[in-house]
Amino acid sequence: MNIVLVDDDRIYLDELCGTVKRMCERNQINATITATDKPLSLLEKNIYNYYDVILLDIDMPGISGIELASEINKLKDLSERPYIIFVSGRDGLVFQALREQPFSFVRKSEIEDLLPCLIRINSRLSVENTYGIKSGRTVEKVLIREIIYLEKSGNYVIFHTLSGDVKERTTTDEKAKDFKPYAFIRPHIGYLVNPLYIREVTSTNVILTDGTVLPLTKKLSKAVRQEFFDWMVSKR
């Protein structure tokens, strides 16, 4: 589960980050936790879509948490993800915040109420589509949304995931068939990319949200750009 904490108070943000991390560890919730005091950054390149959960303060300069939630709701359309949870000390704004249909509203003074929310969300996410990677004599199940990209390496294909790399003795042609229903994009004969993690498509490369640069074959450039554009439109 990918969680982002958004609050303009850097001191509280660090404190909340530690609290959420401890909650997840104690309750066996596998989570990656990041934090930002720049709320508008979530709207850049649709970065919000990378996260499963957004813990959002309401009272922030530049853009309020309610305004940010409204913008994200417009972009994600009917998708439940990311789940938005307001974490605020402004009880007087609770009814205004509820108009954006968040998953929950948690008071900063009662942050322990956040735990049951995270447990319920984690349960929902755990039943999402998974893919079985045949690694040696075992099959490792990975959530489709956690697969960043696939890379050909000799007689193997390396699955680069949020939890690490796993390799399978297979071909990218075979994997292209498997991942077609999930809109994975093939910028090069040796790669398949989850569009969820694409930041930008240039004339020669596909740049991922973590800065990884993958090659883009010239003859595929136009088609890849169109596929990525179509995918982004479908998510609005």
Lowest-confidence pick of 13-27, 60-74, 117-131, 185-199: 117-131
Q: According to the model, what pLDDT value does residue 136 have? A: 81
Q: Could you identify the residue written with the tokens 């904490």?
A: 5
CATH number at residue 79: 3.40.50.2300
Provide the pairing of β-strand 191-193 with 185-188.
antiparallel
Task: Give the Cα separation of 233 and 230 in Å (integer).
Answer: 5
Task: Give the Cα separation of 99 and 66 in Å (integer).
Answer: 9
CA distances from 160 to 39, 103, 151, 191 (A): 28, 30, 8, 11
One domain, residues 19 and 97: yes
| Number of domains composing the chain | 2
How long is the chain? 236
pLDDT in tens, 69-86: 999 988 876 667 889 999
Final residue before a domain boundary, out of 105, 126, 147 = 126
Provide the pairing of β-strand 83-88 with 104-107.
parallel
One domain, residues 94 and 194: no
Report the mean per-residue pLDDT for the chain: 90
User: Residue 227: which domain range?
Assistant: 130-234
- Entry pTM: 0.60
Q: According to the model, what pLDDT value does residue 230 have? A: 85
Report residue 115 as tokens: 């735990």
One domain, residues 143 and 191: yes
Final residue before a domain boundary, out of 126, 153, 180 = 126
DSSP H or E run through 26: helix 10-26
Final residue before a domain boundary, out of 95, 126, 157 = 126
Side chain identity at residue 205, one-letter code: N
One domain, residues 134 and 60: no
Tally of helices (H runs) and strands (E runs) in the chain: 6, 15
pLDDT band at 128 (very low <50, low <70, confident <90, very high): low
Give yes or no for a contact between 128 and 143, defined as CB atoms under 8 angstroms apart. yes
One domain, residues 110 and 180: no
One domain, residues 116 and 52: yes
